[in-house]
Amino acid sequence: MELNSETRSFGGRQQVWTHQSKETGTEMTFSLYLPPAAEDGPVPVVLYLSGLTCTHANVTDKGGFQRVCAELGLAFLAPDTSPRGLDLPGEHDSYDFGSGAGFYVDATQEPWAKHYRMESYVTGELLKVAGEAAPCLDLEDIAITGHSMGGHGALTLGLKRPDLFKAISAFAPISSPIHCPWGQKALGGYLGDDLTAWRRYDACALIEDGARCEAGILVDQGLSDQFLSEQLKPELLEEACRKAGQPLTLHRQDGYDHSYFFIATFMEDHLRWLGERL
């Protein structure tokens, strides 16, 4: 591991780390904010998953989480969205598949299967490496959140791993990848044509199949989001939760779009909500 940078912020430390990943076979980068409370003992962790085309830097620079994390004593961990530097055939041809678009799945199709293992990376290796970088992290006390593709990742990984994640929230998540162009392209490319395999990476399908988050789920969705009707479809998540009795708080925010201005506006609400459950 290498500490690339460390910057003081609201009494805490904003760090950026790189390490050689066994899961992806590439160098991976993540950002880690350690609140002032980390100087005195273990602190709970909020894991944030970014959306299409993003890296760790988008939320680190634009998310506005540091002040609230410092107040609440929360660490904030943000990984990259895919392996980098591989130059696989077709990897850089489009913004919504390949580089920057790992979709938080473990790919089974070639040439992706060897490197595009973002589910295993995020839920296993990343947490282990972050714990080695910062022994003050309480890896028994983790919440997960994310935006867009990362909201999809937060919902699916959180629902599949209630042993690991105590609370789930999302900003404008891809609610049902099976039913939208982004998801169909990604799941088909990474997993092949077996729709049964797709259900493991669809929040609505997981809830239909019995997955639950006892602490409830918080979602914020902007009503001026340009991807709302075609790609995000929060009504599908709302209906799946209603039928299954899964607690869901869905805030539809008038006038807000898909940008980091939206995320920064409601980041404090999410951190306080997650913090109450950690």
- 148 included as an active-site residue: yes
Does 31 participate in catalysis according to the annotation? no
225 is catalytic: yes
Catalytic residue among 106, 202, 220, 225: 225
Q: What are the DSSP calls for the chain, one per residue?
A: -EEEEEEEETTEEEEEEEEE-TTTSSEEEEEEEE-GGGGTS-EEEEEEE--TT--HHHHHHHS--HHHHHHHT-EEEEE-SS--S---TTTTSBTTBBTTB-TT-B--STTTTTT-BHHHIIIIIHHHHHHHH-TTEEEEEEEEEEBTHHHHHHHHHHHH-TTTEEEEEEES----GGGSHHHHHHHHHHH-S-HHHHGGG-HHHHHHTT---TT-EEEEEETT-TTIIIII-HHHHHHHHHHHT--EEEEEETT--SSHHHHHHHHHHHHHHHHHT-
Selected catalytic residue, list 56, 147, 152, 258: 258
Q: Which of 148, 169, 175, 176 is catalytic?
A: 148
Residues marked active site are found at 148, 225, 258
